[in-house]
Amino acid sequence: MISVSHLTRTFGALRALDDVSFEIQPGEVVGFLGPNGAGKTTAMRILTGYLPASSGTVRVAGFDVLRQSLEVRRRIGYLPESVPLYREHRVVEMLEFQARLHTIPRKERSARIDEVLEQVGLTDRKQDLVGNLSRGLRQRAGLAVALLPRPEVLILDEPTSGLDPIQRLDVRKLIQGLGRRHTVLLSSHILPEIEAVCPRVIIVHKGRIAADGTPSELVARLAGSSHVRLEAVVGHDVAAAIRILRTIRGLRDVVDRGRVGVHHQFDLICDEDLREEVGAIAAAKSWALRELSWRRPTLEQIFARIALGSGEEPVEPAASALVAVPEPPTEPIAITGLPVAPAKPAQPARVVYNLNPFDRGASRDLSSPKAVEETPGSQAPPPA
């Protein structure tokens, strides 16, 4: 239904989308997931034909979005994040306008309008001015406008942004119901939502597709660290306990997490849920159990991992707090006049800033480093 191949879009020097390819089959509900500025909206705008691509081809229902734009637009229902509706019109007038734009025959028009209003639950508000509707109701009105021409493809940009949790649940239910009749592509930066609604997730990060698959697949592929957490009284011989635990089939590794009071905590790394096997051993060995749980990384953790970079822990800004450092914070900072810890050999350069407050005071240049040492190692910094 939607086929995107090698799609690239640049805004000046910024690459909003970088060689993105994916396919969406008819009837699929796909979630576009990514932090703000990842390129979700840009991708959706290109799919609807609002923005042209810098390179690559996009086909919707077999039509090229650039060359057969009108054919594509007839088949797409698009709800932008801003929910554009004419505030001065009534809900029903807005729907009539959409019906005229999509040349829905006059006879079917009012029946169809009633149908979508029923679908989104706005039947009793159809004479209200759009400008007087609350955010959640406006979202539904926008959805009604997008649904009116029975589009084959429905593209929803952050359909739940700015809604309260109950409205969010409502919209989510509504979208779940849509999957049967339409191909749906929706974007969000809220994970539980995507997890709940979409059988397939495409994670976008910095204009590239970071991952594509079902939520559970993504969890399995990207995380690989699902485990059974065991907390039990195993006696003094922990090594023996570990040896016994290792005999379980399908177990990849045992991580000893140390003592918690009289209890001992283990993480049993495995791909499948082995709680029953572990439980059986605990029962056989009469270990007093306090916790036995199956833990899988959530999409949220995977997402955080992708967004922060390849599995790295977020780096705490330490000595750099005083000065704005233009380089990434992983660069070590030598403070002149103070004893400097030897630099790690893995790091090639050392950036030295002028932190001496007696040297020209506030007018000293802090925008660029005073010196960058090329030689790695534990050399003393140059004299200030």
Q: Rule CB under 8 A: which residues touch another protein?
A: 45, 48-52, 70, 73-74, 76, 78, 80, 82-86, 88-89, 93, 97-98, 100-103
Q: Which one, of 326, 334, 379, 329, lies nearest residue 355 by Cα?
A: 334
Distances (CA, A) of 89 to 126, 132, 301: 11, 10, 44
The DSSP line for 33-83 is E--TTSSHHHHHHHHTTSS--SEEEEEETTEETTTTHHHHHHHEEEE-TT-
Q: Given phi > 0 = left and psi -120 to 50 = alpha, else beta, which region is 37?
A: left
| R_g (Cα) of the chain, nearest Å | 28
Q: Nearest distance from residue 97's CB to another protein, in Å?
A: 5
Q: How far is the CB of 356 from another protein (least distance, A)?
A: 46
CB 226 within 8 A of CB 295: yes
- Looking at the Cβ atoms of 104 and 117, the one nearer to another protein is 104
| C-beta of 87 vs 252, nearer to another protein | 87
Residue 70 or 324 with smaller CB distance to another protein: 70
How many CB atoms lie under 10 A from the CB of residue 249?
Answer: 8
Confirm if 117 and 128 have CB atoms less than 8 A apart. no
DSSP for 214-267, please give it: -HHHHIIIII---EEEEEEE--S-HHHHHHHHHTSTTEEEEEEEEEETTEEEEE
Site of tokens 């399995």: 220
Q: Is 373 helix (H, G, I), strand (E, B) or coil?
A: strand
Least Cβ distance, residue 212 to another protein (angstroms): 25
Q: For the CB of residue 16, give the shortest distance to another protein in the complex, in Å.
A: 13
Q: Considering the complex, state which of residue 96 and residue 273 has its C-beta at the smaller distance from another protein.
A: 96
How near is the Cβ of 156 to another protein at its closest, in Å?
A: 13
Query: Order of strands, edge to edge, in the sheet holding 227-233?
Result: 251-260, 263-270, 227-233, 288-295
Task: Write down the least CB distance from residue 112 to another protein, Å.
Answer: 15
Q: CA-to-CA distance for 362 and 354, rounded, in angstroms?
A: 11
CB closer to another protein, 15 vs 102? 102
Q: Is the Cβ of residue 84 or residue 192 nearer to another protein in the bound state?
A: 84
Q: Which is nearer to another protein, 78 or 287 (CB)?
A: 78
CB of 322 to another protein, least distance (A): 40
Nearer Cβ to another protein, position 157 or 195?
157
Specify the residue, 72 or 334, whose C-beta has the smaller distance to another protein: 72
| Secondary structure E strands in the chain | 2-11, 14-24, 29-33, 55-60, 63-64, 76-79, 153-156, 183-188, 200-205, 208-213, 227-233, 251-260, 263-270, 288-295, 333-335, 350-353, 371-373
In the complex with another protein, the residue whose CB is nearer, 28 or 96, is: 96
Maximum Cα–Cα distance across the chain: 87
Task: Give min distance, CB of 140 to another protein, in A.
Answer: 16
Amino acid identity at 245: L
Shortest gap between Cβ of 157 and another protein (angstroms)?
A: 10
Q: How far is the CB of 103 from another protein (least distance, A)?
A: 5
